[in-house]
A and B are shown apart, each in its own frame.
Chain A
């Protein structure tokens, strides 16, 4: 604590307590009679000094944090409070000044500001890195997707080209079946990555595409289709087995169901119905053809394929005599798959 006398020239110190001497490192006789400015130094903020000067000139209270210098030249942060003291007649007698060393508080303030800056910088840096990584991932995904699609297209092309050179009808037929299966996979892939959400797959849209494509490709315009499709979304990992199964059933019906009916016509109808009663997903593929009795070698491979895919999907599959024709009913759970449960 200090008391100064503004009525003397240059407002000198007229009283100091021991606490001030301990804080500043000076002897009493070194400070008495001096103006307080000896506490200031090169790093003391000029604006803060101006603030003090103004308050003293206007004879009002002032409270600032100011960087002061000890006798040995070391610095400390001083929470300085100055207040004028007047007599009964309003004449200014003294200034009373109290000092508090707040260097620790100032240090932690500085540290917090510096830490905050450092963290902000680190966060910005990390965000930039993550954004770059995400962009690289997205580019990679697009690149891989592009390559997979192109390769699927090339596989189809190779089969078709090879097939053109083959004379044997049975071999050609077998290649054609292979092409159908690969094209079913291709259609899944095309539809899957066309949508915004690559983890979900609309199986009804797929079935519509597939049946239209298979019917027109067969060139048998006398066979009509009946589609009764609820929009059903399944998870992406089920898309391929479901698609292959539907492909097998529809192509089987096209190939084997419509020989020649008892009334002498080859016309017919293929029906697909998809519905989802309580947590289940049902597919019915039906025809009004010759019935189940007929099964060639290829049909039995197709049958094995269907049964294996059904096992993979935990689906129940049942062949029913629809008299006339056949109805295949597939029923499988359609709940969101547990993570880590994917085999």
Chain B
């Protein structure tokens, strides 16, 4: 049994955050916080400890998700996965994030992504196949999914 993940949700849509929280908890993980803006997210990064932060690009204060990812990257206390309907907004270097789950994702896609991330964080590299709808950043692709 692999240790479950502590998850931070950075998402401006309450409905999506709610559902994501339920799914994360159903999969046996825990949610340590939910932020809707970049300021809230940064404060939460400082005050909580998460293994994974799911970060939407578009937050209540604009397209500030990349900022949040960079802030988390400097703190080095958790890893970032973007979750966005607008993956073209992500810079080529992914601001240090693992990758992106493109919206709209399927519920199963998300469950598979959680399992994949759990393996990747606790016992890298992940054993499961990369779930459909999950794209790794170039940096993580070389480590987690090297081309044989």
Instruction: Point out residues on A near B: beta carbons under 8 Å.
Output: 142, 145-147, 149-150, 152-154, 156-158, 160-161, 164, 179, 183, 186-187, 189-190, 194, 208-209, 212-214, 216-217
Contact = CB atoms under 8 A, between A and B. Distances in A.
B112 interface: yes
B107 A160 contact: yes
B123 interface: no
Contacts of B102: 190, 194
Given A160-B19, A216-B112, A189 B104 contact: yes
A147 B85 CA distance: 8
Contacts of B58: 146
Contacts of B88: 142
Main secondary structure of the interface of A (DSSP, over half): helix
B118 to A, nearest CB: 15
B13 A154 contact: yes
16 contacts: A146-B58, A146-B85, A146-B86, A147-B85, A154-B13, A157-B15, A160-B107, A186-B105, A186-B106, A187-B106, A190-B102, A190-B104, A190-B105, A194-B102, A213-B108, A217-B107
A209 B133 contact: yes
A157 B18 CA distance: 9
* Interface size grouping (class) on chain B: 20 to 34
A161 B21 CA distance: 11
B77 interface: no
A211 to B, nearest CB: 10
B57 to A, nearest CB: 9
Among A146, A157, A217: residue with most chain B CB under 10 A = A157
Nearest to A205: B132
Interface of B: 13, 15-16, 18-19, 22-23, 58, 85-88, 102-109, 111-112, 132-133
A149 B16 contact: no
A190 B88 CA distance: 12
Given A154-B15, A157-B18, A213 B132 contact: yes
Contacts of A214: 108
A142 B104 contact: no
Given A142-B86, A154-B15, A190 B103 contact: yes
Q: 4 shortest A-B CB distances, which residue pairs? A: A217-B108, A149-B85, A186-B104, A157-B19
A186 B107 CA distance: 11
Contacts of A217: 106-108, 111
